[in-house]
Amino acid sequence: MFHLTYHQIRPSESARYLYSVTPEQFAAHLEVLAPAAARLPPDAAISFDDGDASIFDYALPRLEACRAKATLFITAAWIGARAGFLSWSQLSALADLGHSVQSHGWSHVFLPACDRKQLHEELRRSKQVIEDRIGREVSEISMPAGRWNGSVVAACAEAGYARVFTSEAGAQPRVLAGVEVLGRYMARRHDTAADIAARLAAKPAALGRQRLRRLAARSLQAVLGDERYHRLWLRWSGAPPETEAELGYTPDGSPPPS
């Protein structure tokens, strides 16, 4: 399974963020996965993390053109509450079109940094609120900022999730605590159609580079500690400054107010 994940689909003038892809690039990527607007092959999947409003304006028309269905992993507390993110009515419309609305946690805190009470809030509250609003079961969750560990997966199992999606491209699917743990590739600003084609074909060079990058990132993370590493990453990736506080740790490690 090749699982491709996006964050923002925005025209180039507003696309500074590492994970912001232009509508033209998105269309070119889709053309690789579903040539000539054929359906997505069964071994490919597309998802969106966070719930950025650009999904509705720029990704939806292109998905519909090739009848591709995506999964939207949403940060539930941001929906209808934060400018630039989808509304509940847009998400209901997407669900009615056959797209799946699933959880990306409640407030985007890093789950391994949560105590039991916070973890409960992040996992159960997001699932409950999405199910109430959309009227469909939530059984999947993607890990905010790709941070996870065995305890988080066990808590996901307790909260009733069947599948956990990470940000580790090329990772072998596995089952932990009865939950499927599946990797995904995060589409980046500079990814061309050829890059996506190479990843779809799982070319050894692309996978090797990926593993090396992951190893280097883990070493740096170990040296700096996760919080300092994340702040450095935010600057390097061009993440919009107004979202920094919400994208990771708050000063006292608690979830941002909902």
Distance (Å, whole) CA 96 – CA 89: 10
Q: Give the nearer residue to Zn ion in terms of CB position, either 104 or 199.
A: 104
Binding mask 100-119 for Zn ion (x = CB under 5 A): --------------------
Q: Give the nearer residue to Zn ion in terms of CB position, either 50 or 121.
A: 50
Q: How many residues bind Zn ion (CB under 5 A)?
A: 3
> Which amino acid belongs to residue 173?
P
Q: How far is the CB of 96 from Zn ion (least distance, A)?
A: 24
Contact 49, 77 (CB under 8 A): no
52 in contact with Zn ion (CB under 5 A): no
Q: How far is the CB of 205 from Zn ion (least distance, A)?
A: 28
Q: How far is the CB of 166 from Zn ion (least distance, A)?
A: 12
Q: Give the nearer residue to Zn ion in terms of CB position, either 23 or 144.
A: 144
Binding mask 127-146 for Zn ion (x = CB under 5 A): -----------------x--
Q: Give the nearer residue to Zn ion in terms of CB position, either 104 or 200.
A: 104
Q: Which of 103, 105, 108 is nearest to 91 (CA)?
A: 103
49 in contact with Zn ion (CB under 5 A): yes
Q: Which residues of 49-86 are buried (b: 16+ CB within 10 A; e: fewer)?
A: bbbbbbbbebbbebbeebebebbbbbbbbbbeeeeebb
What phi-psi label fits residue 225: left (phi over 0), alpha (psi between -120 and 50 degrees) or beta? Answer: left
Please give the biggest Cα pair distance in the chain: 51
Q: Out of 4, 6, 50, 99, name the contact with Zn ion by CB under 5 A.
A: 50
Contact 161, 139 (CB under 8 A): yes
Give the footprint of Zn ion on this chain (CB under 5 A).
49-50, 144
